[in-house]
């Protein structure tokens, strides 16, 4: 009797399900999707993303020729130019002087710089956590921003638009197939799986640090 081995992508999804739900359940996220944030409240997230992706995409350049991590590096995913365009729209040409990363964001970027350029497994973990999220919930957030704030891919929400990826579902399927085909032993899989949880923890902390930007409800004001 042969045993069927669980696909690695399925292992990652199962192992991070609770952490994923924890990030999605942050009050800031629900307020963003519901259109409860003002323009400044949304712009604060864009600023945090710029700091995070600056570190992640620098690591991607370092990993581009790595035999394990290189196949995941794809210019169609690159977010930094879109984030710069969004920040210029939201803050004007002096946007770099007007954005401020939170301590949680600096910690996240520090982790990316510390581990991604020297560990293919850890780089893939962070790459997977960010970009597959961008191609899933991120697309939904982009549609919500357009609906509530009139922000489109050309005006303030370019981060959520992937012009070079025609079919996000097919792209994600192919990405998961690459994960499944990784030539990793048990220790390598464990390293990557553990770093995915680290990535989710940092993401959750970044969102939690923005919770003060959510307007108080009537009940909270009354209390």
* CATH class assigned to 8-214: mainly alpha
pTM, rounded to two decimals: 0.94
Question: What ranges do the domains of the chain cover?
Answer: 8-214
How confident is the model at residue 217, as a pLDDT? 63
Confidence at 155, pLDDT banded by 50, 70, 90:
confident
Rounded to a whole number, what is the largest CA-CA distance in the chain? 66
CA quadruple 130, 132, 137, 142: dihedral sign: positive
The partner residues of 152 in beta bridges, in order of sequence, read: 155, 156
**207-223 residue pLDDT tens:** 999 999 999 764 454 45
**50-91 residue pLDDT tens:** 999 999 999 999 999 999 999 999 999 999 999 999 999 999
CA distance 130 to 6: 23
């Amino acid at each position: 009797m042969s045993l069927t081995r669980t696909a690695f992508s399925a292992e990652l999804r199962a192992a991070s399900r609770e952490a994923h739900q924890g990030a999605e359940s942050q009050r800031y996220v629900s307020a963003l999707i519901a259109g409860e944030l003002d323009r400044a409240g949304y712009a604060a997230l864009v600023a945090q993303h710029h700091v995070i992706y600056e570190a992640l995409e620098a690591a991607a350049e370092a990993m581009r020729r790595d035999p394990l991590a290189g196949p995941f590096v794809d210019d169609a995913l690159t977010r930094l130019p879109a984030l710069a365009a969004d920040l210029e729209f939201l803050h004007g040409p002096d946007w770099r002087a007007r954005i401020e990363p939170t301590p949680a964001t600096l910690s996240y970027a520090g982790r990316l710089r510390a581990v991604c350029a020297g560990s293919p497994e850890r780089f893939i973990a962070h790459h997977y956590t960010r970009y597959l999220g961008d191609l899933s919930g991120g697309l939904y957030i982009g549609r919500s921003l357009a609906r509530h704030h009139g922000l489109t891919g050309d005006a303030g929400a370019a981060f959520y638009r992937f012009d070079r990826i025609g079919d996000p579902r097919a792209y994600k399927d192919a990405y998961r197939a690459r994960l499944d085909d990784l030539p990793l032993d048990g220790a390598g899989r464990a390293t990557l799986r553990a770093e995915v949880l680290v990535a989710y923890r940092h993401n959750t902390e970044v969102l939690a640090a923005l919770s003060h930007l959510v307007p108080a409800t009537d009940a909270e004001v009354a209390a």
